[in-house]
Structure 1
C-alpha cells in the first residue's frame, strides 16, 4: 500500500511566480512550495512526489543526499570508490552520472522536454531515475538533492545514507554559475540578482538552511553520515577513514593515500565525473574552484553585509555551525 504524500503542495504566489519565471523561463506551470519549510520546486516534481516518497529502498543501496553544489560529486566519487574496492579504472572510464542514479532529476525536465528521448550524444545528468531504478540490479548508488523529509520515510532505517553540507555563501556562488552552465539562467543574469533570489528562497530547492538542518538533526542515526565540505577540504584523509568505517571497508595506508591523490581537486577536473562533453575553462564549468570561503571574492560590500545578516538569522535557529577552513 502506497503511503499518502504527507506534505501540502501549493503554488507560489502570483508575484513570486512572476519573479521566478523572469529567470527560469522554460517552465510554464506555476512553481510550487512544499511542506512547512516551503521548499521551492517546479510543478513537474508535484506530478511524481508520491512515487519518489514511496520508492522502495533496498538494504544494499547507497545514497548521497545534498543541497545542490555542496560537494555532491566529490563525495559521490569518494563513496563509490570506497564501496567498489577502489576501482579506479571504472571510475576513470565511466562518468559519475552512469555510476550514480539521480532519482528525481527527470521531474526537473519533464515539463520542458516531456518524455522524449535524449540523443545518444547529449550530456546527461543521469542514466537512471525513479522510473527505471526499481528494475536496476543491486547494489544501486543513488543521489538526491531533495531534503530527507521528501525522500522515502524508511530510507534511514533501511540503508546507508550520506549527507554533505557546505557554507551557503559558497553554495550560492557555485549554484549561480551552475545555473548558467545548465542554461537555467541567461548569461546576462548578474550574481547580485541571483543572491537576492537565493536569500528570498526563490531558487530551486531553497530554503537551504532547513534542508541542511533536517539532516543535521538526524546525524546520530547509525545509517546516516553527516559531513561538511569544509572538513573534506581540511582533512580529506580523515574523512576517507570515516567513510571506510561507515561502509565496513578496509584498505591499506597506501591505498588510502592513492584515494587521496585521486580525489585531489586538480585531478578530479581531469576525469569524466560528469557526462558533459562540453566542459571548458573559466567560471561556467561543472568544477570551478573547489575552495571554501571563495565567496568573498564575488560579494560586494552590500552583499557581504546581507550575507552576514542572513547567516546570523538562520544559524541562531540551530546548534549547527560550519567549520572554519584551514589556511
Structure 2
C-alpha cells in the first residue's frame, strides 16, 4: 500500500494552554497538540499515530461511523450494524458493540497514559477489541468507529466505503461530554470540575477533539457524496423510523414494516440504556454519570445559567455564520 504523507501540521499547544489543560486532564506527561488548520486539540499519542490511521487501507465493503464524541455514536452504530446484518438481534444482544466495531483511534489516546498497553495481544481495555493496529487483519465486512475529523481519516475513504456521520447540537454535546469525562475519569479525580468550568474549556477549544463545529462542517461539506450519510442526532430524536428507512435505502436493504418496527423498539433509547457496555459496571441507581444518560435534545437548558446561555448563543452564531448548516428543532 502506498504511503500517503499526513498533510496536516502537528504542533504542541503553548505552555500556558498545556498548564490549563493539565489542571483537569490527568496522567498526560507530554504536551498536548493541535492538529491541522482547524487546530483540533488531541493528546500527544494522537500525534504519534494519526499518520498511521491516515494510511489505513479501506475496503469497499467497510462501513464507517464517524462522529464528534457524545453525539449519538453508539445509538447510530447499533442501528447501522443491525440493518447491515439482516437484523441479527441475537448477536446484537449478546456481543458487545465494542467487539462488533473497531474503534480505530482509541488506543492512540490511551498510549499516552498507559504505555504498557501497546502490546496488541493485551485485551484488558474493553472499550474496543480492535483498533488501527489490528484493523488490517480483520475479516470483511469491517465496521469501524472514529471520532477523528474526516480530514484525518484515509484520503480514499469516501470514494471507497460507506460512511456515516452524526452531528448533535454542541450545547447538548457539552453536557453529555461533561458527564462522560466524569464517567471515563478523563479528569483528575481531585479536580472539582463544575459544568461552568467545562463549558469554559470547551468554548476555548481546550477539551479533547475540540473545536466541534469545524469537525461537523467537514462532514457537512461531504453530505452529497454518494457514499456519505450525514445525520443529525435530533433526527433520531424526532423520528427514528424515518432515519431507519433512510439507512436501509443507503445500504440497499429491504425489510418488512414489522421487522422495522422491531428494530425501532430495539434501538429505543430507553432499551439501549439497559444494554451492558463493556468495561462499565451495571448501575442499579439512576445517575447522571452513565454511558447512556438522558438522550434528550435541549437538555442543556437545565445546566446552563443565564451567562452560559448567552455565551453559547454567541458561540453558535459566530461558528455557524460561514455555513448553511443548522441543527434541527426537536419535536417535544
Using the size of structure 1 for normalisation, the TM-score is 0.97
The equivalent of 1:320 in structure 2 is: 325
State the partner residue of 2:71: 70
Check the 8 A contact 1:97/1:127 in 2, yes or no.
Answer: yes
Distance 2:212 2:280 in 1: 30
Change (3 A) 1:120 1:128: closer
Q: 1:275 aligns with which of 275, 278, 284?
A: 278
Q: Is the 8 A contact 2:98 2:126 kept in 1?
A: yes
Q: State the Cα distance separating 1:124 from its structure 2 match.
A: 1.6
Rounded Cα–Cα distance in structure 1 between residues aligned with 2:282 and 2:206? 28
SS in 1 for 2:41: strand
Partner of 1:304: 309
CA deviations on 1:164-195 (whole Å, 9 max, x unpaired) are 00000000000000001000124521110000
Q: Distance in 2 between matches of 1:245 and 1:289?
A: 29
Change (3 A) 1:29 1:186: closer
Which residue is 2:31 aligned to? Answer: 30
Deviation at 1:115, TM superposition (A): 3.8
On the 8 A contact 2:82/2:88 being kept in 1, the answer is: yes
Inter-partner Cα distance in structure 2 for 1:144 and 1:121: 19
Q: What displacement does 1:276 show? A: 2.6
- How far residue 4 of structure 1 moved from its aligned partner, in angstroms, is 0.7
Q: Counterparts in 2 of 1:95-114, with a 5 A limit?
A: 95-114=96-115
Q: Does 1:193 align with 2:197?
A: yes
CA distance in 2, matches of 1:8, 1:100: 29
Question: In the aligned structure 2, how far is the partner of 1:158 from the partner of 1:227?
Answer: 20
Q: How does 1:11-22 map to 2 (within 5 A)?
A: 11-22=12-23
Name 2:252's counterpart in structure 1.
Answer: 248
CA RMSD of aligned residues (A): 1.4
* Maintained 8 Å contact 2:28/2:113: yes
Identify unmatched segments of 5+ residues in structure 1: none
Q: Would you say the 8 A contact 1:180–1:186 is kept in 2?
A: no
Match of 2:299 in 1: 294
Aligned residue number for residue 215 of structure 1: 219
Q: CA offset at residue 278 of structure 1?
A: 1.2
Name which of 149, 165, 179 aligns with 2:167: 165
Q: Is the 8 A contact 1:123 1:275 kept in 2?
A: no
In structure 2, list runs of 5 or more residues that go unmatched.
none
Distance 1:172 1:181 in 2: 14
TM-score for the superposition, normalised by structure 2: 0.96
Number of aligned pairs?
Answer: 326
Divergent runs of 4+, >4 A: 117-123
CA distance in 2, matches of 1:277, 1:308: 35
Q: Deviations over 1:192-225 (max 9, x none)?
A: 0000000000000000010000000000000000
Aligned to 1:260: 264
More deviation, 119-128/232-241:
119-128
Determine if the alignment matches structure 1 residue 230 to structure 2 residue 234.
yes
Q: Measure the CA separation in 2 of the matches of 1:123 and 1:154.
A: 30
The 2-side partners of 1:111 and 1:79 are apart by 31
Instruction: Please say if residues 10 and 47 of structure 2, whose CA atoms lie closer than 8 Å, have aligned partners that are also in contact.
Output: yes
